[in-house]
Amino acid sequence: MTAQQYGVGARVTLSVYDSGYVQIILAALADADTTGLTIETNDISTFVMGPESRVLGFIRDVIAGAAASGAHLSAAILLSRGCPGELQCALPPGVAAQGSDPVSLEPAGVRARAHWSLYPLLDGESTGEHMTPIYAAIERAKAEGVYSGSDHYATRLDGDLAAVLQTAANAWIAVGATVQHVVTHLTVSINSPSPIDA
């Protein structure tokens, strides 16, 4: 089953805290490599579908491109797998879970701080508890050096934008090897004037 058939993709809302936001966002979207991707932008977010490494590479490039303006920005990112379609999942529950190779992203040269949440969407006939893979993912983030604390409802990541995205994506991919429908959300902040614990 291809990434497209399995519903591998993202929604991204890029918010630029600058009155010149239209030019900054459009330039960042225009400069990013869209090879192998389906991309649709509407008034709320941009939909990106394709193989994991290309989806994440595109997200890194768009955010880094906008960050190069120097403006403060945030990005709300949703990664989903195992539930293609719109109103309903086109894959019924119980389809064999499909993992993928981990992604490896070149550094973006931009520091990112993020709140990250991972949702393994089990069904009643599944085995195990949903928090078990979440705790394992937090341990991996610590080993990868981008963990910087846990706030309520989210894990805090801090590092090069590519490393932050890679940690979240590889946790999502790893859980996806055993759970069909897995979603992860990231809120990334770049160029913030706020101190970390303001």
Q: Which is nearer to a second copy, 90 or 106 (CB)?
A: 90
Strand partners, 47: 11, 40
Min separation Cβ 73 and a second copy, Å: 8
Q: Which is nearer to a second copy, 106 or 193 (CB)?
A: 193
Q: Which residues bind a second copy (CB under 8 A)?
A: 7, 9, 11, 13, 15-22, 41-45, 47, 49, 72-74, 76, 78, 80, 83-89, 93, 113-115, 117, 119-131, 135, 138, 150-154, 156, 181, 183, 185, 187, 189, 192-198
Q: From CA 58, how far away is CA 101, in angstroms rounded?
A: 17
Residue 109's nearest CA partner among 19, 191, 36 is 191
Alpha-carbon distance values, 60 to 126, 149, 153, 180 (Å): 34, 22, 24, 25
Q: From CA 57, how far away is CA 40, in angstroms rounded?
A: 16
Q: Is the dihedral of CA 141, 144, 149, 154 positive or negative?
A: negative
Q: Which is nearer to a second copy, 106 or 149 (CB)?
A: 149
What would the two tokens of residue 139 be? 């341990």
Q: Which is nearer to a second copy, 91 or 106 (CB)?
A: 91
Q: Is the dihedral of CA 71, 74, 40, 173 positive or negative?
A: positive
Min separation Cβ 172 and a second copy, Å: 13
Min separation Cβ 36 and a second copy, Å: 17
Q: Which is nearer to a second copy, 43 or 96 (CB)?
A: 43
Min separation Cβ 51 and a second copy, Å: 16
Min separation Cβ 80 and a second copy, Å: 4
Q: Is 118 exposed, middle or buried (0-12, 13-18, 19+ CB in 10 A)?
A: buried
